[in-house]
């Protein structure tokens, strides 16, 4: 699957790994290689440029965490940016204790019926009780195809060859399964329409009748970046809850298909990778990119990066607790607070903050942190490392840069100093226990 893309990306990485040193020229070359690889896989030009611009910028400007080589850091950046291109990392979860209705939509030949049977098996294996409704009334053989395949995995199919009214079939099918204690019912629909509008109209009606919990759009991956407009057209008619891209085994345009689908904002939930019933995979952007780049190489790098990040945290904590906190550390603490989201618990045990904040002031506090974030971001590296440099002319500049008045900058500096002094007085004990309680220390 996506063999060309895989080969080209890996070749690009190899060039970096085998180079004697990293310089701007090499990064530009990597960027060009990646561009070529993605374009050949039919990824939209705009996405390609976004990815490689980020890749160049970050590779040139970011300092790798101590201990991680510049080369490995660049590979990690490439991995990050590609994964970002392919969408978010969420999973759909079926509600327990009732029948979840899943409507399969897509144009004829996209692979709906095939995916329906694949999914029936996949979900059955996961322990769900699954059944299928065959509502493709346009193709006489459709029901036979569905029944033959579902029989093999002991999944019941409801259908009626003589009935040409797909809405009625859906209604009757849902009634038929009403008391069967099902977890999931998959509804396979038709796609044989001369005009796109007719298909979309029928989808709208079926959607109304079925009231599905999840609408899955099945798209043929061989159409590449055109997936975007197709998904968009469907999405305007029925709210698409997830996308399945098929035929990735036989498509050179798979990369483009995945990127374009992700760009619609809908989650890609599964991919089809062959004609056999087991050729279905749950989709995860990071796992997918990992495999694309050769997980063997990349996983070690990622593990190392993660470990180094946490080691860097330790060094920081030591610095904070010995009273040597700088503005960067202060910023880091603010970030941790918002990341973890338990502002209350954190503030209660932060010297310099506790007592200052009452319950009803929490919102205000969050606004203040946001403000401080902008202000700190307007400081130079030097100023962050040594906030004692902040004289009135620097404060004036920072105020202008951040868009906040000078007294706000001064307020931040005052709080920073308070926090630093108290941290020193308590030898960081309070800070550490707060972090530990949140599983950070
Ligand atoms: N190579 C390949 N072929 C597929 C895949 N999924 C479906 N097909 C083929 O695509 C054709 C149309 O599939 P079908 O399920 O009938 O599409 P529908 O009209 O949307 O129901 C069939 O010949 C399938 O075998 C896939 O992941 N890989
Ligand atoms: Mg079909």
What tens-digit pLDDT sequence spans the chain (441 residues)?
A: 788 898 898 889 888 888 888 899 999 999 999 999 999 999 999 999 999 999 999 999 988 877 778 888 898 899 899 989 998 877 788 999 999 999 999 988 999 999 999 999 999 998 999 999 999 888 778 889 899 999 988 999 999 988 888 999 999 999 999 999 999 999 999 876 667 777 788 888 999 999 999 999 999 999 999 999 999 988 888 999 999 999 999 888 888 889 888 888 889 999 999 999 999 999 988 888 887 887 555 666 666 666 666 777 777 777 777 778 888 888 877 766 554 344 555 555 555 555 555 555 566 666 777 788 889 989 998 999 899 999 999 999 999 988 899 999 999 998 888 878 777 776 555 555 544 444 443
User: Residues near ligand 1 with C-beta < 6 Å?
Assistant: 106, 108-114, 191, 246-247, 249-250, 272-275, 279
Q: How far apart are alpha carbons 7 and 9 in whole angstroms?
A: 6
Proximal ligand: closest to the CA of 218:
1
What's 100-283's CATH class?
alpha beta
Which amino acid residue places its CA nearest to atom 25 of ligand 1?
A: 275
Q: Which two tokens stand for residue 72?
A: 């490995």
Report the separation in Å between the CA atom of 302 and the middle of ligand 1, taken as the mean of its atom positions.
Answer: 36
Q: Which residue has the tokens 């307020």?
A: 411
Q: Do 334 and 372 meet the contact criterion of CB atoms below 8 Å apart?
A: yes
Report the separation in Å between the CA atom of 352 and the middle of ligand 1, taken as the mean of its atom positions.
Answer: 63
Proximal ligand: closest to the CA of 193:
1
Q: How far apart are alpha carbons 415 and 418 in whole angstroms?
A: 5
CATH code for the structural domain at 3-89+293-297: 1.20.120.140
Domain borders along the chain are 3-89+293-297, 100-283, 322-437
Say what the pTM is: 0.70
Which amino acid residue places its CA nearest to atom 12 of ligand 1?
A: 109
CATH code for the structural domain at 322-437: 1.10.260.30
Pocket test for ligand 1, best of 107, 138, 275, 283 (most atoms within 8 A of CB): 275
Report the separation in Å between the CA atom of 260 and the middle of ligand 2, taken as the mean of its atom positions.
Answer: 24
Atom of ligand 1 nearest to the CA of 114: 15
Atom of ligand 1 nearest to the CA of 106: 20
HEC states along the chain? Answer: CCHHHHHHHHHHHHHHHHCCCCCHHHHHHHHHHHHHHHHHCCCCHHHHHHHHHHHHHHHHHCCCCCCCCHHHHHHHHHHHHHHHHCCCCCCCCCCCCCCEEEEEECCCCCCHHHHHHHHHHHHHHCCCCEEEEEECCCCCHHHHHHHHHHHHCCCEEECCCCCCCHHHHHHHHHHHHCCCCCCEEEEEECCCCCCHHHHHHHHHHHHHHHCCCEEEEEEEHHHHHHHHHHHHHHHHHCCCCEEEEECCCCCCCHHHHHHHHHHCCCCEEEEECCCCCCCEEECCHHHHHHHHHCHHHHHHHHHHHHHHHHHHHHHHHHHHHCCCCCHHHHHHHHHHHHHHCCHHHHHHCCCCCCCCCCHHHHHHHHHHHHHHHHHHHCCCHHHHHCHHHCCHHHHHHHHHHHCCCHHHHHHHHHHHHHHHHHHHHCCCHHHHHHHHHCCCC
Report the separation in Å between the CA atom of 202 and the middle of ligand 1, taken as the mean of its atom positions.
Answer: 21
Atom of ligand 1 nearest to the CA of 192: 19
Q: Which two tokens stand for residue 235?
A: 């999405």
């Amino acid at each position: 699957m996506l063999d060309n893309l895989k080969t080209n990306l890996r070749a690009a990485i190899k060039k970096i790994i085998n180079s004697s040193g990293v310089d701007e020229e090499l990064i530009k070359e990597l960027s060009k290689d990646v561009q070529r690889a993605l374009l050949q896989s039919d990824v939209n030009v705009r996405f390609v440029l976004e990815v490689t611009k980020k890749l160049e910028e970050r590779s040139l400007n970011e300092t790798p965490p101590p201990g991680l080589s510049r080369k490995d850091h660049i590979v990690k950046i490439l991995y990050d940016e590609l994964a970002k291109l392919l969408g978010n990392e969420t999973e759909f979860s079926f509600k327990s204790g009732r029948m979840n209705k899943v409507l399969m939509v897509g144009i004829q030949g996209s692979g709906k019926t095939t995916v329906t049977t694949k999914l029936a098996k996949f979900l059955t294996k996961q322990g769900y009780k699954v059944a299928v409704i065959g509502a493709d009334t346009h193709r006489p053989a459709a029901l036979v195809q569905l029944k033959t395949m579902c029989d093999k995995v002991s999944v019941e199919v409801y259908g009626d060859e003589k009935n040409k009214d797909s809405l009625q079939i859906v209604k009757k099918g849902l009634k038929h399964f009403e008391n069967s204690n099902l977890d999931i019912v998959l509804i396979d629909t038709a796609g044989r329409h001369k005009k796109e509008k007719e298909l979309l109209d029928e989808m709208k009606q079926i959607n109304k009748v079925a009231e599905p919990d999840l609408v899955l759009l099945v798209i043929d991956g061989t159409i590449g970046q055109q997936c975007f407009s197709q998904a968009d057209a469907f999405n305007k008619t029925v709210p698409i809850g997830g996308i399945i891209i098929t035929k990735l085994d036989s498509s050179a345009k798979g990369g483009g298909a995945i990127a374009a689908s992700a760009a619609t904002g809908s989650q890609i939930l599964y991919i089809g990778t062959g004609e056999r019933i087991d050729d279905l995979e749950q989709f995860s952007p990071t796992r997918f990119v990992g495999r694309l780049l050769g997980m063997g190489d990349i996983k070690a790098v990622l593990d190392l990066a993660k470990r180094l990040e946490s080691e860097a945290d330790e060094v920081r904590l030591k610095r904070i607790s010995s009273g040597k906190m700088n503005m960067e550390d202060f910023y880091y603490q603010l970030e941790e607070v918002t990341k973890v989201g338990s502002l209350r618990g954190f503030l209660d045990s932060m010297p310099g903050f506790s007592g200052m904040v009452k319950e009803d002031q929490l919102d205000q506090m969050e606004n203040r942190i946001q403000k401080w974030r902008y202000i700190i971001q307007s400081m130079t590296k030097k100023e962050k490392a040594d906030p004692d440099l902040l004289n009135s002319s620097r404060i004036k500049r920072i105020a202008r840069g951040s868009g906040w008045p000078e007294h706000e900058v001064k307020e931040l500096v005052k709080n920073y100093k308070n926090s630093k002094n108290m941290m020193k007085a308590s030898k960081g004990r309070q800070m550490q226990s707060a972090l530990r309680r949140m599983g950070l220390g």
